[in-house]
Amino acid sequence: MATALRLAAVARDSPAAVSKLGRERALLRAAARPGGQCCARRGLVLRCQSGAATLKKGEAADGAGAAAGFTVVMKFGGSSVSSAARMREVADLILSFPEETPVVVLSAMGKTTNNLLLAGEKAVSCGAPKASEINELAVIKELHLRTIDELGLDSSIVSGFLDELEQLLKGVAMMKELTLRTRDYLVSFGECMSTRIFAAYLNKLGKKARQYDAFDLGFITTDDFTNADILEATYPAVAKRLHGDWIDDPAIPIVTGFLGKGWKSCAVTTLGRGGSDLTATTIGKALGLREIQVWKDVDGVLTCDPNIYANAVPVPYLTFDEAAELAYFGAQVLHPQSMRPAREGGIPVRVKNSYNRHAPGTVITKTRDMRKSILTSIVLKSNITMLDIVSTRMLGQYGFLAKVFSIFEDLGISVDSVATSEVSISLTLDPSKLWSRELIQQELDHVVEELEKIAVVHLLQHRSIISLIGNVQRSSLILEKAFNVLRRNGVNVQMISQGASKVNISLVVNDSEAKQCVQALHSAFFENGFLSEVEEADLAQNRVPVLVSSNGAINGN
């Protein structure tokens, strides 16, 4: 009966989960294995929580936050909590919203994740006696101990983790090997320490806080180490735990971003770089909260990457679809998968600047007013690989596309943008793969080898995808303007692709000309009065305002 209820809750939470019930059943059995409430932190395998995914009757994931008093998720990235001063600032920011009862999600401090990865890589080849001397280990120790000291906390909060980290690096050095599983365990130290420091600091300020490791809280994932997917059972498990703890003893939850627990391995997993955004939106959906806030070091989602072009300006509103495309095509500001739970839960996401808290930021919702919108943002993904595949079969022979894509399927490589004709296909390889690993030359050679059995293949490297995220109804105008700019700059576009949702037009150019293209496109679309010219023309033609939903459907005229 309890299992049936749990499955019903999973099914209600998301109809898509129904198809996964077999796996969920096994997962629920795994979650119910004895092991106590508390996961053993030390060691690569975590004990499974007892009844992690149970829901009592009437204890729905939807609205559980409201019942427990939680109102928002506030996620702070590494840049927001990079020092003691920043932790003070973030605590002050949270306390400046006394009307809110937040669930707080934190990333690792500053560049700690990068440093942990570098330390792991160095450990593989440095030899066990030298593992303690790895420079990045010293940087991590110094940062965390200094932060503890400056916040007036007890060093025992992190000293056990720092000792264990050193032991782990020695182990890697002895084995001369860093598996993906060990890599995930290694990087988990960053979030485990930042959240403990911050929770202790809030408690010191007199604001009751409770630290949670996501892998202990109910974040259940696939076992795809370094790029795990969150499973449906996570939602009721997280809701139940946060809700229950709040009822027993109210305290602000401080949750590790980025981490989960593999459903088969019971080991620590990570959600891909930047995965704390996904942790935040998952909690938002699990608790049915009013809003999900992701606090960054920029004034919201910008018209392009400020590192590529400093004149980028904030985009005030986005749909979930626009934000997802933007993230998927390489805008580092959001994790590519993070919009999914927010969209499913219908919960607005607000991207804010923790260094400039009064800036309005970007609000991401299902629909938005598109009256004045033409181009929303320009995204650049460099160093991608493009394949030109021309069939050696006769014109009109069917099955060519199927054959090509079955080769990619067999080799486990995802394809991203595609343009086709009767006998040829141009495609780029999925940049989301690059979040977790580089496609190595060997793999590319193998793809070409397989494809050459049915086609003539050209492998083109050092290409960039420029993605124009914009208004569904204005694609001709966007294309006209973009091609004008590119022609004036002497750039030849090598591939064009417009997805079915039409919020994204992708152009492939050479890496060497890509930055200059983005700058020229940005100044043409956003800086030279183009928008007002179009607006005036629209007014003259009496165009009617439209709303566009996140799936691209047009509401209104």
Ligand X SMILES: N[C@@H](CC(=O)OP(=O)(O)O)C(=O)O
Ligand Y SMILES: Nc1ncnc2c1ncn2[C@@H]1O[C@H](COP(=O)(O)OP(=O)(O)O)[C@@H](O)[C@H]1O
Binding site for ligand Y (CB under 6 A): 77-80, 107, 274, 296-298, 301-302, 304-307, 331-333, 377
Q: φ, ψ for residue 134 (rounded to 5)? A: -60, 130
CB atoms inside a 10 Å sphere around CB 126: 18
Kindly state the smallest distance separating residue 80's Cβ from ligand Y, in Å: 5
- Kindly tell me which of 275 and 288 has the beta carbon lying closer to ligand Y: 275
DSSP string over 312-357: --B-SEEEHHHHHHHHHTT-TTS-TTTHHHHHHHT--EEEEETTST
Q: Which does 385 bind (CB under 5 to 8 A by kind): ligand Y, ligand X, none?
A: none
Q: Which does 185 bind (CB under 5 to 8 A by kind): ligand X, ligand Y, none?
A: none
Kindly state the smallest distance separating residue 144's Cβ from ligand X, in Å: 14
Give the Cα separation of 177 and 182 in Å (integer).
9
Residue number of the CB atom closest to ligand Y: 77
Q: Which does 260 bind (CB under 5 to 8 A by kind): ligand X, ligand Y, none?
A: none
Kindly state the smallest distance separating residue 193's Cβ from ligand X, in Å: 11
Q: Which does 331 bind (CB under 5 to 8 A by kind): ligand Y, ligand X, none?
A: ligand Y
- Kindly tell me which of 276 and 365 has the beta carbon lying closer to ligand X: 276
Kindly state the smallest distance separating residue 474's Cβ from ligand X, in Å: 32
Kindly state the smallest distance separating residue 297's Cβ from ligand X, in Å: 9
CB atoms inside a 10 Å sphere around CB 357: 15
Give the Cα separation of 376 and 166 in Å (integer).
46
Contact 247, 282 (CB under 8 A): no
Q: Which does 113 bind (CB under 5 to 8 A by kind): ligand Y, ligand X, none?
A: ligand X
- Kindly tell me which of 228 and 447 has the beta carbon lying closer to ligand X: 228
Q: Which does 257 bind (CB under 5 to 8 A by kind): ligand Y, ligand X, none?
A: ligand X
Q: Which does 275 bind (CB under 5 to 8 A by kind): ligand Y, ligand X, none?
A: ligand X
Give the Cα separation of 359 and 433 in Å (integer).
33
Kindly state the smallest distance separating residue 108's Cβ from ligand X, in Å: 4
Kindly state the smallest distance separating residue 276's Cβ from ligand Y, in Å: 7
- Kindly tell me which of 55 and 228 has the beta carbon lying closer to ligand X: 228
- For 319, counting Cβ atoms within 10 Å of its Cβ (0-12 exposed, 13-18 middle, 19+ buried), the class is buried
Q: Which residues have a Cβ under 8 Å from the Cβ of 554 and sit 6 or more positions away?
A: 472, 473, 546, 547, 548
Q: φ, ψ for residue 528 (rounded to 5)? A: -115, 35
- Kindly tell me which of 273 and 522 has the beta carbon lying closer to ligand X: 273
Q: Which does 80 bind (CB under 5 to 8 A by kind): ligand Y, ligand X, none?
A: ligand Y
Kindly state the smallest distance separating residue 126's Cβ from ligand X, in Å: 23
Contact 429, 416 (CB under 8 A): yes
- Kindly tell me which of 120 and 274 has the beta carbon lying closer to ligand Y: 274
**Selection from 272, 269, 238 nearest residue 255 by Cα:** 238
Kindly state the smallest distance separating residue 274's Cβ from ligand Y, in Å: 5
Q: Which does 262 bind (CB under 5 to 8 A by kind): ligand Y, ligand X, none?
A: none
Given CA atoms 53, 59, 60, 65 in this order, what sign does their dihedral have? negative
Give the Cα separation of 76 and 32 in Å (integer).
32
- Kindly tell me which of 281 and 365 has the beta carbon lying closer to ligand X: 281
- Kindly tell me which of 298 and 363 has the beta carbon lying closer to ligand Y: 298
255 forms beta bridges with 105, 212
- Kindly tell me which of 76 and 201 has the beta carbon lying closer to ligand X: 76
- Kindly tell me which of 78 and 284 has the beta carbon lying closer to ligand Y: 78
Q: Which residues bind ligand X (CB under 6 A)?
A: 77-78, 107-108, 113, 190, 257-258, 273-276
SS (H, E, C) 126-144: HCHHHHHHCHHHHHHHHHH
Sheet holding 259-262, edge to edge: 220-221, 259-262, 268-270
Q: Which does 258 bind (CB under 5 to 8 A by kind): ligand X, ligand Y, none?
A: ligand X
Q: Which does 54 bind (CB under 5 to 8 A by kind): ligand X, ligand Y, none?
A: none
Looking up tokens 């890589």 gives: 121
| CA angle at 358 for the pair 89 and 545, rounded to the nearest 5° | 145
Do strands 495-498 and 504-510 pair parallel, antiparallel, or not at all (unpaired)?
Answer: antiparallel
Kindly state the smallest distance separating residue 298's Cβ from ligand Y, in Å: 4
- Kindly tell me which of 126 and 192 has the beta carbon lying closer to ligand X: 192
Q: φ, ψ for residue 74 (rounded to 5)? A: -120, 110
Q: What are the residue ranges of helices labelled H in 330-434?
A: 339-345, 400-411
- Amino acid letter, 157: I
DSSP state of 435: G
Kindly state the smallest distance separating residue 338's Cβ from ligand Y, in Å: 10
- Kindly tell me which of 31 and 323 has the beta carbon lying closer to ligand Y: 323
Q: Which does 253 bind (CB under 5 to 8 A by kind): ligand Y, ligand X, none?
A: none
Kindly state the smallest distance separating residue 356's Cβ from ligand Y, in Å: 12
